[in-house]
Structure 1
Amino acid sequence: MSRRSAYDPGVPCWVDLASTDVPGSVRFYGDLFGWRADMVDDPAAGGYGMFVHEGSKVAGIGPVRDGGSASLWNTYVATDDAAALAGRVRDAGGTVVAEPMAVFDEGTMVALRAPDGSYAGAWQAAAHAGAELVNEPGAFCWNELCTRDAPAAERFYSAVFGWTSRTSDLGGMAYTEWVAGEAAVAGMIPMPDEAPAELPSFWLTYFAVADLDAALHAAADAGADVLTGVTEAPPGRFAQLIDPQGAAFGVIQLNETS
């Protein structure tokens, strides 16, 4: 289902970009995906806004917080009880970075840090359920944890989000799918050996594109760098990029059967 008005608990429901240069990010993703940014006209929103694609909210954007110096994409997973989830984070050995917090009348957010060092968020919906369009060109379609400690991450995220996991060999690399109910909802890979030692575990967001080659040309013209070149995978051809503000993300041309 591409258009969404609700998400089951345990399903990634929203992504947003914390940017060191919000106007620059708005220009970049507007050029790349055709997004429009609707900024919230309220000082209490702290400069937050919504990326809109073909009339649907697909992602958020705002400035980096608390003196952060790096831009990054954040992944949020749906929950029906933010307070209970925060308790599970602590019980599983994680850190609640931001306690359950009401965001106007839109919903309740929790920010967490897992024992493997990765950060994620959880969202209990009220007026805002999450992305209104997914799995289509111009919208996010997959979220993948790149981790330095797969066993710790597997224990933690299973306990917090209720996920089960299934791991298979993908070209000599262990690839884990996180499963909620009967559906795979996210992935996990080990941190590549060539990654800089200072790079912590992180969640990577993939966006669907209609034509990968055209998207890569557009991204390069708009100032993006290549993190990982074009790769063939069962869901489709993909690549990983770094936007001009330093945030990593993926683009994938999904196969019609995906």
Structure 2
Amino acid sequence: MRSVRTADDVLRLMDGLFGSAADRWTDGAADWWDRFYSDRTRDVPFFASRPDESLASWLDRGLVTRGPRGRALDLGCGPGRNTVHLARHGFAVDAVDLSPTALRWARERAEEAGVEAAFHRADAFALTESDLDGPYDLIYDSGCFHHLPPHRRVGYLAFLDRFLAPGGAFGLSCFATGAENSGTELSDLDLYRDARAHGGVAYGDDDLRWIFSELTEVELRRMRRPDPDAETFGEAFLWAGLFRRP
């Protein structure tokens, strides 16, 4: 049976090349991430209610500022640690995640912190302008991008083009090449040949500059790992990248 007629059909076909690993971004993603977030006592560093050190630093140094509307989108918000931090800094935050379990945790954290945010259970890249109250002064992605297969980067860039306001900032953390405990360094072609995502894709600084070349680089560095009792989260195997739309 023939299954390809549209560009979306091609994308779904390519998703399938990754087998069970595709559960992290295809229809099975919600179940996969629900299982991941179901036990809050697990020793997962980013389960702690602490924002990324890079995001906190950009806000403290004024590299990310609120525009007239002061809107932020937390892309793949997980249990909401960055959502809460952005709301505390005066942003009106939309937080999106596929996992209902993660969103329940995020809502609880927002209530405990006494801040407001709008939570959306959705595949962010299937959302349209009628679903979100954009454009956004800031789109922030902590760990979503590096789970995408290469062909899904096209939709990611189209998403930024639709929802990032002129002059708006885009920040991300993602796996870095040459770092211990990071993602795979296989080439894009070899990822398809291997039919596995290996837990995430690592990027070099030149890769990120090329992929996001339509944006202006503000800062691109490795994340810093704070002291265990610090109020922020960071791991040295992650990039911290901040870009701005002209």
The TM-score normalised by the length of structure 1 is 0.28
The TM-score normalised by the length of structure 2 is 0.29
**Higher strand proportion:** 1
